[in-house]
Amino acid sequence: MSRPKRAPKESTDRDRDAKVKPLIEYWAEALGFSRDWIISYRFVESLVEGDDDDHTVFARTQTLANYHKAVIGFDRVNIDNAIAEELEHTIIHELIHIAFDNTYSVITKYLNDYSGVGHELRDSLEGPADRLASAILALKRIDPFVTYNDKPEELV
Ligand SMILES: [Zn+2]
């Protein structure tokens, strides 16, 4: 006699929160956002848009740079399927976007964004955000003493 197979346990937003929250808190502090920025997040059904079909979109961030506020939207399904390093990379990547968005908002303000240069500028930052996130993760791998329970040392 065998038991009926159980369906794999579905993640809830509470499960996702437990994975995402410590990483955001850690990296927001490490990247200097925690003092004067409000960075929140939410989980959404799907972030796939038009030309995103060829790659997995884990998150997308909206920033109100003037108000020092940002909201990171995480794709529920893609986050559930992400391995730990992908999730951490995603969070660092999104925080780097937030840092760039400050400059980006100044530029688009003066261009009035009629030229579409705003979108192009943001797209052009995908590569640098990825490279920086990878480098930061590589540095963390070198220092085995970094854990999520440690607060990063005060930056001078
Ligand atoms: Zn990005």
Name the pTM for this structure. Answer: 0.81
Q: Compute, in angstroms, the gap from residue 3 CA to the centroid of ligand 1.
A: 45
pLDDT higher than 50, residue 156: no
Q: State the Cα–Cα distance between residues 129 and 152, nearest whole angstrom.
A: 21
Q: Compute, in angstroms, the gap from residue 118 CA to the centroid of ligand 1.
A: 14
Contacts of 70 (CB under 8 A, 6+ apart): 37, 38, 39, 40, 61, 62, 63, 64, 98, 101
Q: Compute, in angstroms, the gap from residue 112 CA to the centroid of ligand 1.
A: 22
**Across residues 75-84, what is the average pLDDT?**
94
Q: Compute, in angstroms, the gap from residue 72 CA to the centroid of ligand 1.
A: 11
pLDDT tens, position by position, 86-126: 999 999 999 999 998 878 777 777 777 666 777 788 888 99
> Where exactly are the structural domains of the chain?
13-142
2 — pLDDT class (breaks 50, 70, 90):
low
Q: Compute, in angstroms, the gap from residue 13 CA to the centroid of ligand 1.
A: 22
User: E strands of 5-156, at which residues?
Assistant: 38-44, 59-64, 69-75
Structure token digits, residue 117:
């240069």
Cβ proximity of 115 and 84 under 8 Å: no
pLDDT tens, position by position, 9-61: 789 999 999 999 999 999 999 999 989 999 999 999 987 765 555 678 899 99
Q: Does domain 13-142 have CATH number 3.30.2010?
A: yes
